[in-house]
Amino acid sequence: MAAWSCLVTGAGGFLGQRIIRLLVEEKEVQEIRALDKVFRPELREEFSKLQSRVKLTLLEGDILDEQFVKRACQGTSAVIHTACIIDVYNAIPPEVIMNVNLKGTQRLLEACAQASVPIFIYTSTIEVAGPNSYREAVRNAREEDNLETTWSAPYPYSKKLAEKAVLAANGWALKNGGTLYTCALRPTYIYGEGSPFLYRFFDQALKNNGILSHNSKFSIANPVYVGNVAWAHILALRALWDPEKAPNIQGQFYYISDDTPHQSYDQFNYNLSKEWGFCLDSRMSLPVWLTYWLGFLMEIVSFLLSPIYRYQPPFNRHLVALSNSVFTFSYKKAQQDLGYEPLFSWEKAKQQTTEWIGSLVKKHKEALKTKTH
């Protein structure tokens, strides 16, 4: 492989920054362009330390800004597109989500065609596959099962359309006469230190005397560690550069999971945090079917009030289905085509995530001390 350069969108995000850290280790990388709307000062500092190993350019701007995206793609060999808005609560206006997740992806694909960027890797999600109902059980699903979400909720819908656009762009003619090759990775629920979802969840639990909310006890999921998802992106990049491997991968999508034990989200959160004194709520929870229909009623109320007031329900049917489904995936195809093996064992992933949760507990205690003095 000759020297190459890579643009990573969403580079300041939970997954994006992990991809950057692994890309820096790739011998053939000449330049990494890290694109995001804004970079936090501590991340700027961390990225500046990586400059000694490789040219790392930070690009701050909007993915919907056509000229900015064109300039970002100019002269790069590959794009890893992780930037998106994740929203399972319907807290963000649907048009904002559709714009960033779908239109932003289409703009980026067009910019690649114009700038003759031959490789495009898209970070998709298992939510493009479902779950469509909390009553249906999907175990160790594979790519050939052709699962597809039927939800019209903005997040899964926008990601489904964006993934279709990426895979349909495989084989596009580039301006310089070359060809665009694409693939998509569908990680399961991503966890690890710095996870915004885990941060919110444990922050809430700390405010509730360490009691973990238990609204997902009927689920069976196989979460995936963030470091392993980042590693899968590096392997996809290497594989699309490899003339022998590439033909099998072009235009394909892959489920990315690891060896994290299959368990309910409730049990998973408890396993990560029990050593810090967190415990599951022992109170009775509502039956799932009742929670589902309450979600539906709240959606109706939200819709009826929408002309005069933006009512944000605490949950909705999509979230209830997502949190209470048996929905697990096999990474065999990624293993076969990309040579994917998890870089981090469950023990290592658990240890690092648990230590990070411990740091949140410590900060919380310090904040309480400061308040009382």
What CATH number is attached to the domain comprising 139? 3.40.50.720
The domain containing residue 248 runs over which residues? 4-267+323-363
Q: Taking residues 57-86, report their average pLDDT.
A: 96
The answer, yes or no, to whether residue 344 has pLDDT greater than 60, is yes
Which are the catalytic amino acids?
A: 155
Half-sphere exposure of 300 (CA within 13 A, CB side): 6
Q: Does residue 373 surpass a pLDDT of 70?
A: no
* H/E stretch holding 221: strand 220-221
Asked if residue 55 is part of any domain, the answer here is yes
Rounded CA gap, 155 and 315, in Å?
Answer: 14
Our count of domains for the chain comes to 1
CA–CA distance from 297 to each of 78, 236, 294 (Å)?
Answer: 46, 43, 5
Q: Assess if residue 308 is contained within a domain.
A: no
Look at residue 2 in the predicted model and tell me its pLDDT.
67
**Residue 225 falls inside a structural domain:** yes
**Using one digit for the tens of pLDDT, what is the confidence trace for 40-55?**
999 999 999 888 778 9
Kindly state the average pLDDT of the residues 81-109.
95
pLDDT at residue 285 in the model: 85
Q: What are the Cα distances from residue 114, in Å, to 118, 138, 235, 280, 340?
A: 11, 41, 26, 53, 31
Phi/psi of residue 299, nearest 5 degrees = -65, -40
Question: What DSSP designation does 262 have?
Answer: P
Write down the number of H helices and E strands in the chain: 14, 14
Residue type at 301 in one-letter notation: V
pLDDT mean over 186-192: 98
Instruction: Tell me, yes or no, whether 299 lies in a domain.
Output: no
Convert the pLDDT of each residue in 262-300 to its tens digit: 999 999 999 999 999 999 988 888 899 999 999 999 999
What angle in degrees, to the nearest 10, is found between the helix axes of 265-273 and 196-207? 70
Specify whether the backbone of 340 is left (phi greater than 0), alpha (psi in -120 to 50) or beta. beta
The model's pLDDT over 102-119, given as tens digits with 9 standing for 90+, comes to 999 999 999 999 999 999
Q: Per the domain annotation, does 294 fall within a domain?
A: no
* Domain presence at residue 273: no
> Is residue 284 one of the residues assigned to a domain?
no
In-domain check, residue 300: no
pLDDT: is 368 or 299 the higher one? 299
The pLDDT tens digits for 25-35 are 998 899 999 99
Strands, sheet with 252-256, edge to edge from the N-terminal-most edge strand: 55-60, 29-36, 4-9, 78-81, 119-123, 181-187, 252-256
The answer to whether residue 213 scores a pLDDT higher than 90 is: no
How do 211-212 and 279-280 pair as beta strands?
parallel
